[in-house]
Amino acid sequence: MRYFIYILFTLLISSSFISEAQILNVESLRKSSEDGIHGSIGLNFELKKERLQQFGISSDAFLMYKKNKHRVLFKNVLQLQKIEGRDLSNNDVMHFRYGYKIIDWLSYEAFTQGQFNKVSKIDLRALIGTGPRFKLTKTDKYKVYLGPLIMYEHQKLDQPENPIENNIRASIYLSFSLFPIENMAITHTTYYQPKIDYFNNFRLSSQTTARFVIYKNINFQTNFQYTFDQYPADDVPKSQYNLTTGIVYQFR
């Protein structure tokens, strides 16, 4: 029942063309500039530290539709994790984003996201946000983007005190992509998400993704993410890291 409510909630707010993440990086997905449908399906293995050391497996599906100045992104990530060789936990994220290209260096975006994370004691974190996206470079050898966004956050935590929060946060990201050799891309994104009325309550995320083609549409990908939350749930550490490596099948 909980997952049915979650999926229904995500689809409803997605229909309003509004979307963004606990801190989910979608910058590594913006590769193709051609019109049409593009996507990928991936299987990853990961080493992760939250409250305890974990080893897990995850799958992710990505779909993008681009037509002229319009772009729609959808991503779903499902993770199963073994904790200290004992417990099994889960993390599920659904992300939807719409973008409209106004001029070459300026786009406007709207996003929504829903997430469960048992280890981080997140029963539900739902985000709705919007804002501009600036392209800071003109060359195709590397790309730099800046996005100063604003979002509404509804969060329900698995803890006795203050289990439900409703906040307005900024979500400012700086992203760059490098293409050092043919068929290889390196993307780095840093997110800063403070509460608008209390800047000492903030989240910070730094994520780097490297992907290269190993055979036709099959890619090898590795990803490292570090996150910091000034006010996490009870008994959850402020800093966490996540390292994943896996295979991605890409289609277009």
pLDDT tens-digit series, residues 180-225: 888 899 999 999 999 999 999 999 999 999 999 999 889 999 989 9
Element (H, E) at 113: strand 106-117
State both tokens at 177: 């992509």
pLDDT tens-digit series, residues 112-139: 999 988 878 899 999 999 999 999 998 8
Residue type, 245: T
Q: What does pLDDT average to over the chain?
A: 83
pLDDT of residue 227: 92
Q: Which domains does the chain have, with CATH numbers?
A: 2-251 (2.40.160.40)
pLDDT of residue 1: 43
For residue 83, the cross-strand partners are 54, 87
State both tokens at 251: 């289609």
Supply φ then ψ for residue 148, to 5 degrees.
-90, 95
Instruction: Tell me, rounded to whole angstroms, the distance of Cα 81 from its chain centroid.
Output: 18
Q: Specify whether the CB–CB gap between 249 and 42 falls below 8 A.
A: yes
pLDDT of residue 241: 87
pLDDT tens-digit series, residues 48-59: 666 666 677 888
With a cut of 70, say whether residue 16 has pLDDT above it: no
